[in-house]
Amino acid sequence: MIIKHSVLNQHRRKRYERLALLKPNLIHLIPELDVNLMPTNSPGSDKAGPLRYTKHHVYNSADSLGKGATATVYLGRNQQTGEQVAIKAFTDQNNRHIVQARNREIELLTSLSHRNVMRILACEEEVISHNVVIIMPYCQEGSVQTLLDQPAHGFGFKEEEFLRFLSDITNGLEYLRTKGIVHRDIKPANIMKRIEEHGSSVYLLTDFGGARKLDEDETFVSICGTEEYIHPHMFLRGVLKQSGENQFNAAVDLWSLGITIYQVATGRLPFQALGGRNDSPMMFKIISERKSGEISGVQKQDGSIERSKYMPDTCYLSRGLRMLLEPMLAGIFETVESHIWKFDQYFQTVNTITDMKTLDVFYAVNGTNIKLYLRKTDCYRDIQEKIASLTDVPSDRQIILKSNTELRSVVEIHEQIQTYPKSVQNSQLFLFEKDNYDHGRLAVTNLPPFPSFSLDSSLSSDCFVAKQCAALSCYTEWKTVETIKLQKLLHDAKLNLRLYVQNSLSPLEKLTRDHEKMLVISKKRVDSITVSQNNITTFKSLVDVLLSTQTVKNFSKMVDIFCKDDGFVDDSIRKIDMRIEEINVYLSVLLQRLLEISSPVPADHLGCQEDDHCITKMEHVRVGVQTVMTTFSKHKKYGSLHPHEKFIHSVERRKMENFLVKIDSFHNHCTQNLKTVHISSMKRISMLLKHLTRRYKVETNMTCVSDCLNKLNEKLDKVDVNYQKVSEHFSCVIKELLKNPELIRKTEEEMTKLSSEKSSISSCTSSTAHSPCSSTHNSCNSAHKSMLIQQLLTQVTDLESSKSELTSILDTNTQSLRNLEQILSDTEFINPTEIQSGMNTTRCRSEQSDLNEGACGYS
Ligand SMILES: Nc1ncnc2c1ncn2[C@@H]1O[C@H](COP(=O)(O)OP(=O)(O)OP(=O)(O)O)[C@@H](O)[C@H]1O
């Protein structure tokens, strides 16, 4: 019988719908007695009611979209276009207050036009009753209260949706302020969600029945609003009927909005008495005895009131956003009159929040993915400070990676976030702490336990418990998805860090090669200087004997300076050699270790895998819970159950209990996997961080090598300068020698004598080996001098050639150095000065001394 009826209804529905679409202007001709006709899309009703008409619209009285204190809103259609509309019909058109409210609402809505304020399409009379109805655009998603009643929003809105809500509703309210209108009944039930033509959603303020024109400083006396949302002063007079403040102003809207924002953010009211509306005195105590900074107060089972300055962890909003909302709510709920936020401050804050840029930063140590809220004009330093405020990692110890590259190498240090490339703005960042090898502790938020059904529970309490379970299973499902994401982020963090460390070694290897080349060049310079020094010393000893002029004296002095050896050069070369050798060993060991770290992770450390189908399983069970919830809602509506339905009810209860066990176990399984992945990843991450410290040490050593090489070359440059001076003096001495005809003549004579007295010179020479040659002393002396002159002339030639050789070596050196400079400037990652400046800021004191000890030892 029931089946036949519903089939009949379906036929009628179809007929109605076809007619509505093809001949919408004829719909009003359908006799009102045809009570079983109803449009499709009926929200929730399976019974048809009588059709009602206005001049241009029609609706079925069974198609209620929602019911308020003064009116019921129906889903209707435009008779001409077939377009869906919401029709607000007032319950009692003879009630003076209701009529007043209706007229006020019509008057106000007609004067308003804003994207976030409900529009009025028409105001028409019903054909038979002549009741005035308001025609508004139909909001498919219903009110925010309807959304909050859905299990998916049991713990509030998700972040993106919440921000859209916050922005829209604030824009709407800002518009009302400019029009000098106070709404007086802001609450989730009076905020509608509508899907626009292009698919985006928009939130609108509706129900202007209590609204009135009022400037911010103006006051009113009538009590208006809904118990949970009204300002404490109004509560005292309106609910508790006690004397108190009897003048209210536009600020009452801000209080109601604060309550609404908290509820949309968390899924629950901020101030709650155990007995709800039945315990108004307790409710008043909770809202009126709050302290500055407190944003919630909830009465517990034992009667105590738990107050808090923070939003609960169990909500979908990130900590970064909550940290921005908490002071705002504290400002709205402030107790010190002069500190209570005004509209302007609120509007400005919300506009700032909704205009912010966000960056996701994963911190492997505690396994959290932090959402940073930053102003568009913020730059790298602000990112660092924000991270420091949300973690325990100070700015100077942060390594922020974008994939496997440091963020600071991708963006300019003073660049504003709004100009960052899209690839950076939307990318996932990874945070590590320099020199911290702690394996850390995973931050796991404990989920609230599932409520259980009591043995002697009623249909309504079962329905209530089922709703809570459904909300919690949605939240647990979301948490599970997040848990699996965190496992992936841990793997990514490890991989990115390894590649980063690995990549950071390449420039060091290259720099070592460059150092080696520089050292070879320096050694060549030293060799040629040594040759010059030897030659010049011999020359000096010769001219010292031949001449004792001022020129020779000056020359000798310069030669002493040029040849002075304080051991610096040899010492430097030895130490640089040693250090480069050490660096080479260190680098090869590091590379070897990195290779070991890149070995595959054991299968049991991989975490949840796609073929485990964790999310699908969870989703399946969550849908099961929701189905039971729907059944229990129906049972609650029935009031009492038929024995057969009672059996179904108890079966469903058991089913629900099984589902909850499964949800718990699926979630625990994924959390356990996360713990395993965290432990294994942190082992590798801390090893990589150790390697990174070692790499910094190598870098420090390299800086020392660079320093040493620079100092060595500076020293060699000085020697070169001295050599230039020696050369000048040397030229003067030669000139003096050549200009001295007496000396040349004597030399020639001596040379002639020398050839004629060859034998006597030989004997003289041989006798000098035994005793001083007194008889032939003069001739011997002149022969000796001529020999010296001959040697000297050879020396001069030698010196000239060694000088030119040295000059050519110097030229080569200069060229090589130029090449080297070129190479360094072409090197993307590193140059010695950068390394040094980088190291100076990051090294800690103890290490610095440690490194200096191990380094070249030059200061
Ligand atoms: N344009 C619309 N589209 C869809 N549903 C609507 C629309 N307007 C109102 N509703 C639904 O109807 C319900 C009642 O509407 P409204 O708040 O305007 O009535 P009311 O009697 O003035 O309420 P109150 O008790 O707050 O005074 C809303 O909570 C909402 O669920």
Q: What is the pLDDT of residue 45?
A: 44
Spatial separation of the C-alpha atoms in residues 397 and 593, rounded to whole Å: 23
306-318 per-position pLDDT tens digit: 999 999 999 999 9
User: What spacing in Å lies between the alpha carbon of 69 and ligand 1's midpoint?
Assistant: 9
User: What spacing in Å lies between the alpha carbon of 628 and ligand 1's midpoint?
Assistant: 28
Mutate to test the pocket of ligand 1, among 73, 91, 119 (most ligand atoms within 8 A of CB): 73
Ligand 1 atom closest to 90 (CA):
21
Can you tell me the mean pLDDT for 417-442?
Answer: 89
- Burial-class residue 655 by CB neighbours within 10 Å (0-12, 13-18, 19+): middle
Q: Are 688 and 836 in contact (CB under 8 A)?
A: no
Mutate to test the pocket of ligand 1, among 97, 98, 100, 143 (most ligand atoms within 8 A of CB): 143
- Tokens 């729907």 belong to 630
User: How many angstroms separate the most distant Cα atoms in the chain?
Assistant: 163
- Tokens 């300068």 belong to 721
Q: Whose CA is nearest to atom 18 of ligand 1?
A: 207
Q: Residue 400 pairs with which residues in a beta bridge?
A: 431
Q: Residue 181 pairs with which residues in a beta bridge?
A: 213
Q: Which of 40, 91, 38 is nearest to 60 (CA)?
A: 38
Q: What are phi and psi of 641, to 5 degrees?
A: -115, 145
Can you tell me the mean pLDDT for 163-167?
Answer: 97
Q: Token pair of 438, please?
A: 């702690």
Can you tell me the mean pLDDT for 201-223?
Answer: 79
Spatial separation of the C-alpha atoms in residues 219 and 222, rounded to whole Å: 10
Can you tell me the mean pLDDT for 210-236?
Answer: 77
Q: Which helix (H) or strand (E) holds 297?
A: strand 296-299
454's CB contacts (< 8 A; 6+ apart) are: 461
Q: pLDDT tier at 748 (50, 70, 90 boundaries)?
A: low
- pLDDT over 70 at 847, yes or no: no
Q: pLDDT tier at 221 (50, 70, 90 boundaries)?
A: low
Q: Whose CA is nearest to atom 13 of ligand 1?
A: 66
- pLDDT over 90 at 844, yes or no: no
434-465 per-position pLDDT tens digit: 988 888 888 887 889 999 888 777 899 999 99
- pLDDT over 90 at 157, yes or no: yes
Q: SS in 3 state form for 118-172?
A: CCCCEEEECCCCCCEEEEEECCCCCEHHHHHHCHHHCCCCCHHHHHHHHHHHHHH
Pocket of ligand 1 (CB under 6 A): 65-71, 73, 86, 88, 136-139, 142-143, 146, 185, 189-190, 192, 206-207, 209
Q: Token pair of 434, please?
A: 């320099």
Spatial separation of the C-alpha atoms in residues 345 and 721, rounded to whole Å: 71
Q: How far is CA 360 from CA 32, 371, 386, 426, 591, in A?
A: 59, 5, 12, 8, 31
Q: Which of 111, 37, 45, 34 is nearest to 74 (CA)?
A: 45
791's CB contacts (< 8 A; 6+ apart) are: 542
Q: Are 361 and 807 in contact (CB under 8 A)?
A: no
Residue type at 551? T
Tell me the DSSP string of 240-252: S-------EETHH
Mutate to test the pocket of ligand 1, among 190, 202, 224, 230 (most ligand atoms within 8 A of CB): 190
Spatial separation of the C-alpha atoms in residues 283 and 271, rounded to whole Å: 7
Q: What is the pLDDT of residue 326?
A: 97
- 796 or 651: whose pLDDT is higher? 651
Q: Whose CA is nearest to atom 12 of ligand 1?
A: 66
- 252 or 835: whose pLDDT is higher? 252
Can you tell me the mean pLDDT for 238-244?
Answer: 75
- pLDDT over 60 at 773, yes or no: no
Q: Describe the crossing of helices 459-546 and 614-638 by its angle, rounded to 10 degrees.
A: 150
Ligand 1 atom closest to 146 (CA):
31
User: What spacing in Å lies between the alpha carbon of 31 and ligand 1's midpoint?
Assistant: 28
Lowest mean pLDDT among 332-346, 605-619, 782-796: 782-796
User: What spacing in Å lies between the alpha carbon of 6 and ligand 1's midpoint?
Assistant: 29
Q: What is the pLDDT of residue 35?
A: 33
Q: Describe the crossing of helices 777-826 and 741-756 by its angle, rounded to 10 degrees.
A: 120
Pairing of strands 271-272, 296-299: parallel
Q: Which helix (H) or strand (E) holds 652?
A: helix 643-739
Q: What is the pLDDT of residue 830?
A: 33
The pTM score is 0.75
- 10 Å Cβ neighbour count for 813? 20
Q: What is the DSSP letter of 695?
A: H
Length of the chain counted residue by residue: 859
Spatial separation of the C-alpha atoms in residues 534 and 532, rounded to whole Å: 5
- pLDDT over 60 at 766, yes or no: no
Tell me the DSSP string of 461-474: HHHHHHHHHHHHHH
Q: What are phi and psi of 63, to 5 degrees?
A: -90, 60
User: What spacing in Å lies between the alpha carbon of 86 and ligand 1's midpoint?
Assistant: 9
Give the dihedral of Cα atoms 823, 829, 833, 835; nearest 10 deg.
-140
Lowest mean pLDDT among 69-83, 146-160, 582-596: 582-596
Lowest mean pLDDT among 2-11, 75-84, 252-261, 491-500: 2-11
Q: How far is CA 655 from CA 181, 288, 450, 562, 630, in A?
A: 52, 44, 14, 99, 13
Spatial separation of the C-alpha atoms in residues 760 and 771, rounded to whole Å: 15
pLDDT > 90 in the chain, percent: 45
Q: Describe the crossing of helices 459-546 and 643-739 by its angle, rounded to 10 degrees.
A: 10
Spatial separation of the C-alpha atoms in residues 350 and 254, rounded to whole Å: 13
Give the dihedral of Cα atoms 286, 289, 292, 293; nearest 10 deg.
-10
Q: How far is CA 223 from CA 70, 96, 186, 227, in A?
A: 16, 17, 14, 11
- pLDDT over 50 at 28, yes or no: no
Q: What is the DSSP letter of 235?
A: I
- 756 or 397: whose pLDDT is higher? 397
User: What spacing in Å lies between the alpha carbon of 75 and ligand 1's midpoint?
Assistant: 11
Q: What is the pLDDT of residue 727?
A: 82
pLDDT > 70 in the chain, percent: 78
Q: Describe the crossing of helices 758-768 and 741-756 by its angle, rounded to 10 degrees.
A: 100
Q: pLDDT tier at 786 (50, 70, 90 boundaries)?
A: low
37-55 per-position pLDDT tens digit: 334 344 444 456 788 999 9
- Tokens 């509560």 belong to 235
User: What spacing in Å lies between the alpha carbon of 724 and ligand 1's midpoint?
Assistant: 98
- pLDDT over 80 at 223, yes or no: no
Spatial separation of the C-alpha atoms in residues 684 and 691, rounded to whole Å: 10
Distance of CA 108 to the CA centre of its chain: 45
Write down the ipTM of this complex. Answer: 0.97
Can you tell me the mean pLDDT for 585-600?
Answer: 82
Spatial separation of the C-alpha atoms in residues 635 and 630, rounded to whole Å: 9
Angle at 539 between CA 568 and CA 751, to 5 degrees: 165
